[in-house]
């Protein structure tokens, strides 16, 4: 997992729980074009496995990075790239 990507859009779903992080990420994804990179900030500890599962099921979703940040609270950052439409 490299860091050589430029973030197109950031989605903040901190505080929200399942299923909203994935549901809102999908909504944001729909507004992006191929090659765009979406960064999703979540506090839901399920966000990493859930985003992996989401990416696993959709060809156009590619996980570039998963970063855990400590900012007083733990923030799980999923960085996903939009690929070619299925």
Q: Which residues are catalytic?
A: 18
Query: How far is residue 49 CA from its own chain's centroid?
Result: 11
Lay out the site mask for another protein across 38-67 (x = CB under 8 A, - = otherwise): ----------------x--xx---------
CA-based torsion, 56, 27, 49, 72: positive or negative: positive
Check binding of 74 to another protein (CB under 8 A). Answer: no
Check binding of 25 to another protein (CB under 8 A). Answer: yes
Q: In sequence order, what are the residues at sequence separation of 6 or more whose Cβ sits closer than 8 angstroms to the Cβ of residue 70?
A: none
Which of residues 17, 34, 35, 69 is near another protein by CB under 8 A?
A: 17
Q: Report H helices in 35-79.
A: 47-57
Binding site for another protein (CB under 8 A): 15-20, 22-23, 25-27, 54, 57-58, 86
């Amino acid at each position: 997992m490299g860091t050589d990507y430029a973030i197109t859009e950031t989605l903040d779903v901190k505080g929200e729980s399942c299923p909203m992080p994935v549901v809102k990420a999908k909504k944001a994804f729909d507004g992006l074009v191929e090659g765009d990179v979406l960064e999703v900030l979540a506090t839901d500890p399920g966000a990493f496995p859930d985003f992996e599962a989401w990416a696993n099921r959709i060809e156009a979703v590619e996980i570039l990075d998963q970063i855990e940040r400590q900012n007083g609270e733990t923030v799980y950052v999923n960085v996903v790239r939009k690929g070619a439409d299925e």
